[in-house]
């Protein structure tokens, strides 16, 4: 009778351990992104270029497309949850520089195709 109880206890402990590992493994990472700072930087750059209204509209549309695509691609590739920086108190990785670099690359590619 004792060996059956030991085996049962061992199986229960193993199941609990495996369940905890699976839950930890499948939990997506939460990261932060400074949307306000990114948009403000873009607006400052556009203001410094003295563009026409049509050029500002076109550049802003390209920026929005590049930003949304960059965030979507980053999230899909890393399986993460992206929160805007003001929603995060601390303890998350900041991906702002990575996303801004990707947006800049996409914007540069867009300029070379025009």
pLDDT in tens, 36-46: 999 999 999 99
pLDDT at 65 over 80: yes
Kindly state whether residue 15 falls inside one of the protein's structural domains: no
Above pLDDT 90, what percent of the chain?
55
Checking if the pLDDT of 113 tops 80, the result is no
pTM, two decimals, is: 0.73
Residue 98 belongs to domain spanning: 28-112
Residues in the chain, total: 114
- Positive or negative torsion for Cα 64, 70, 74, 76: positive
Is the residue at 103 inside a domain? yes
Residue position matching structure tokens 């195709």? 113
- Asked if the structure places residue 23 within a domain, the reply is no
The answer to whether residue 80 is domain-embedded is: yes
Q: CATH number of the domain that 51 lies in? A: 3.30.910
What is the residue-averaged pLDDT of the chain? Answer: 87
Kindly tell me if the per-residue pLDDT of 64 is higher than 90: yes
Structure tokens given for 39: 């948009």
pLDDT, tens only, 5-45 = 787 888 888 888 888 877 766 678 899 999 999 999 999 99
Domain annotation covers residue 48: yes
Q: How many C-beta neighbours within 10 Å does residue 68 have?
A: 11
Contacts of residue 60, Cβ cutoff 8 Å, sequence gap at least 6: 46
Residue 14 covered by a domain: no
Q: Is the residue at 96 inside a domain? A: yes
Q: How many domains does the chain have?
A: 1
Q: Is residue 13, in this structure, part of any structural domain at all? A: no
The pLDDT score that the predictor gives to residue 22 is: 76
């Amino acid at each position: 009778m004792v060996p059956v109880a030991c085996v049962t206890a061992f199986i229960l402990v193993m199941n609990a351990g495996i369940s905890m590992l699976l839950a930890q493994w499948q939990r997506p990472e939460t990261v932060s992104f400074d949307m306000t700072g990114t948009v403000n930087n873009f607006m400052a750059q556009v203001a410094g270029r003295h563009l026409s209204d049509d050029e500002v509209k076109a550049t802003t549309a390209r920026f929005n497309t590049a930003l949304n695509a960059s965030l979507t691609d980053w999230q899909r590739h890393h399986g993460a949850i992206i929160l805007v920086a003001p929603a995060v108190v601390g303890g998350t990785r900041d991906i702002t520089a990575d996303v801004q670099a990707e947006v800049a690359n996409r914007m540069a590619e867009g300029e070379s195709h025009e």
